[in-house]
A and B are shown apart, each in its own frame.
Chain A
């Protein structure tokens, strides 16, 4: 079928909006990353790559925030994908009970990040929080923790909250992916005497690869963008132990009034996300199969 060239005209409104709200701010950030702009004054100076040099060589908090973010991302990507996958496998059949459970698991996704932060601040409170109280009631006092106040575990507490927050969303993607796998393949495998594990390994997982690619890429990006949750729950503390790149950018820009440097870190941040997402796509693409 020949498609008329005039169809491209329909791209214009979207393109204009995209340019205004995405392309222009991105290019602005790139521009300001070469300046010493404080975010308020009309004047600024071009300082070349100074901001980038500072980030690369002389900013221990930036390095720490990158490390924290990677740790957070790794935990979230692995556990969120696993939790969503396991739940999706159990809830794949379209029964009324499964519909209910899917809706229940999806529910946290529709909450705002700040609401989630309030809920979990209450859950994690070491003195009045329900988590420690529940553990004590169950005789598991030795497991009670200062969940957000202990710098060694605070990042994992945040990551767990992030998994709780978004696993339902990924569950739906996996359920859709599972429904797209032809039933004939399972029937054939069963006739051939394949075990459950073999069926999962040879049929389910390879054919779920496109969904998994989306889930993992999306989870990764989300975990880099978890600013509001981290900001509301710990503000990056204690002692920078939960400082992630997004909260650090905020801190530099809006507390330190150093927009030039914050822009440079934002550009680096964008590069990190792009690189990780590219690697993931490459790796997961190589696992794809079709029958």
Chain B
């Protein structure tokens, strides 16, 4: 008994020693912290969280300029992988110590964050006027501006303009012209559209494929309230269009097994004329093949007189201030800084993105050549982001995969509608 007791006391002693060591190192750490705090007595540490790892360098440069201009504010940027951000951001924001400035996607994530009361009302802030008015509505709720979209993404196929010029092809304005164009490409052994069905293909292409089949922008709201059904003409027709593209060789073989990296490679190698993703891939495509000349070419699946929408846009990467933050004023200063035209231009050109900030000067040929889509074209906000229930969104996307896997559009629509009905109140 005695022996065991001695052993146990020794064991406890080791734990206590370890704990003391840890404590003393923590004390040292806190001493260090307080020392550095006293060095920069009034410095405020501002936390900025988002998911765009590819923008790290540009943001670091912008942050250093901001800190130079505001010596009392330090910005600590934390970037999370997109999926992790989707799942963890809400938890991180809850206590207010992380994410004084944070970003949100429109749609499901915005709705969830709004329901959790994580947004600060920005309606009366001066910087709101620096953003194009048309883009702001996506960050509004209950008459308040809760988040401000920073990026303008075009979620529609990007095409190889140079290839079209070589083949003497015009950008089609109707479904029959589109078919002629696709046939010419195939005659030249070129895949018209490479579709990354293994990852983002369905969720990107559904938007431009349905834009003129379901012109009602509230269609998904009605679907979620039970007023509309996926078995109705608008969605069945969209699925028929997907089937047509797949069965007639407009999409590459094995479309559902192709991921976006392979798809980009096929466009860069000029095996395919278009990639069914969006503007965010233009910079990478140019890196893969600097000779490419790129533009947007959404699928026009209706005849000329029926074309209402020419493309799809998404105002996204929405900047917001955590309602639990104690540093709201500093956070506002940071967003204001990001919305200054010179800084926004630096961000746009550094990341190859269009922005919602007005007066941005685009430097690259691709951004310049496509910037007119913001002002001159009748684009529609990405319908997918108007689905607020994740299960409904997955059912919608699943029906596309089902059709590409060989199911009939009617059958796929029926199956998806059943899932929708299981998941709406």
Q: Does A251 contact B265, Cβ atoms closer than 8 Å?
A: no
Tell me whether B94 and A40 are in contact (CB under 8 A): yes
A151 contacts chain B at the CB level, 8 A cutoff: yes
B402 interface contact, C-beta 8 A? yes
> Is the CB of A98 closer than 8 A to any CB of chain B?
no
Residue in contact with A127 in the complex, picked from B91, B108, B258, B418, CB distance below 8 Å: B258
User: Are A151's CB and B254's CB within 8 A?
Assistant: no
Chain B residue numbers with a CB within 8 Å of A150 are 256-257, 405
Q: Is B340 among interface residues, defined by CB-CB distance under 8 A?
A: no
A108 at the interface (CB under 8 A from B): no
Q: Kindly state whether residue A182 has any CB partner on chain B within 8 Å.
A: no
Interface size on B, residues (CB 8 A): 46
- Tell me the B382-403 residues at the A interface (CB within 8 Å): 389-391, 394, 398-399, 401-402
**Contacts of A197-251 to chain B: CB distance below 8 A:** 234-235, 237-241, 250-251
| A237: B residues at CB distance < 8 A | 198, 256, 398, 401
A32 to chain B, nearest CB (A): 14
Say if the beta carbon of B422 comes within 8 Å of chain A: yes
Cα separation A59 to B258 with both chains bound (whole Å): 30
Q: Does A188 contact B (CB under 8 A)?
A: no
A148-B257 in contact (CB<8A): yes
**Other-chain contact of B11, A10, A125, A149 (Cβ < 8 Å):** A10
Q: Chain B: which residue is nearest A127 at the CB level?
A: B262
Q: Mark A146-168, 1 if CB is under 8 A from B, else 0.
A: 11111100000000000000000
- Please tell me if the beta carbons of B198 and A148 are within 8 angstroms of each other in the complex: yes
List, in ascending order, chain A residues with CB within 8 A of B254's CB: 126-127, 146, 149
8 Å CB contact of A59 from B116, B257, B262, B422: B422
Q: Which residue of B lies closest to A58 (CB)?
A: B422
Please encode chain B, from 407 to 425, with 1 for each CB lying within 8 Å of some chain A CB and 0 for all others: 0000010000011001000
Interface residues of A in 110-153 (CB under 8 A from B): 121, 124-128, 146-151
The answer to whether B1 and A6 touch across the interface, beta carbons within 8 angstroms, is yes
Q: Does A257 contact B (CB under 8 A)?
A: yes
Closest to A157 in B: B257
In the complex, the answer to whether A255 meets B265 with C-beta atoms within 8 Å is: no
B247 to chain A, nearest CB (A): 15
Residues in chain A near residue B391, CB distance under 8 A: 61, 251-252, 256
- For B8, the closest partner residue in chain A by CB is A9
Check: B259 CB closer than 8 A to any chain A CB.
Answer: yes
Residues of chain A with a CB closer than 8 A to B402's CB? 151, 238-239
Residue from A39, A151, A253 within 8 A of B405 (CB atoms):
A151
| Cβ contact of A124, chosen from B90, B257, B398, B405, cutoff 8 A | B257
User: B158 within 8 Å of A by Cβ?
Assistant: no
Q: Are B112 and A257 in contact (CB under 8 A)?
A: yes
1/0 contact string of B250-262 vs chain A (CB within 8 Å):
0011111111001
Q: Is the CB of B4 within 8 A of A238?
A: no
A59 to B11, CA, bound (A): 52
| Cβ–Cβ contact B115 & A40, under 8 A | yes
The answer to whether the Cβ of B86 comes within 8 Å of any Cβ in the partner chain is yes
Bound-complex Cα distance A151 to B412 (A): 13
Chain B positions 224-258 with a Cβ under 8 Å from a chain A Cβ: 252-258
Interface string of B82-101 (1 = CB under 8 A from A): 00001100110010000000
Is A256 a contact of B90 with CB atoms below 8 Å?
no
Query: For the complex, what is the distance from the CA of A239 to the CA of B127, rounded to whole Å?
Result: 43
Bound-state Cα–Cα, A161 to B138, Å:
42
Please name 20 further chain A to chain B contacts, defined as beta carbons within 8 Å, in addition to the given A124-B257, A251-B390, A256-B391, sorted by A numbering: A7-B4, A38-B115, A38-B116, A39-B91, A40-B112, A40-B113, A40-B118, A58-B422, A61-B419, A127-B253, A127-B266, A128-B262, A149-B405, A150-B257, A238-B405, A239-B412, A240-B398, A255-B87, A255-B390, A257-B390
| A-B interface, 5 closest residue pairs, ranked by CB to CB distance from nearest | A149-B257, A149-B256, A254-B87, A126-B254, A238-B401
What are 9 pairs between A and B in contact, CB < 8 Å? Answer: A40-B112, A60-B419, A148-B198, A149-B256, A238-B256, A251-B390, A251-B391, A253-B87, A256-B391
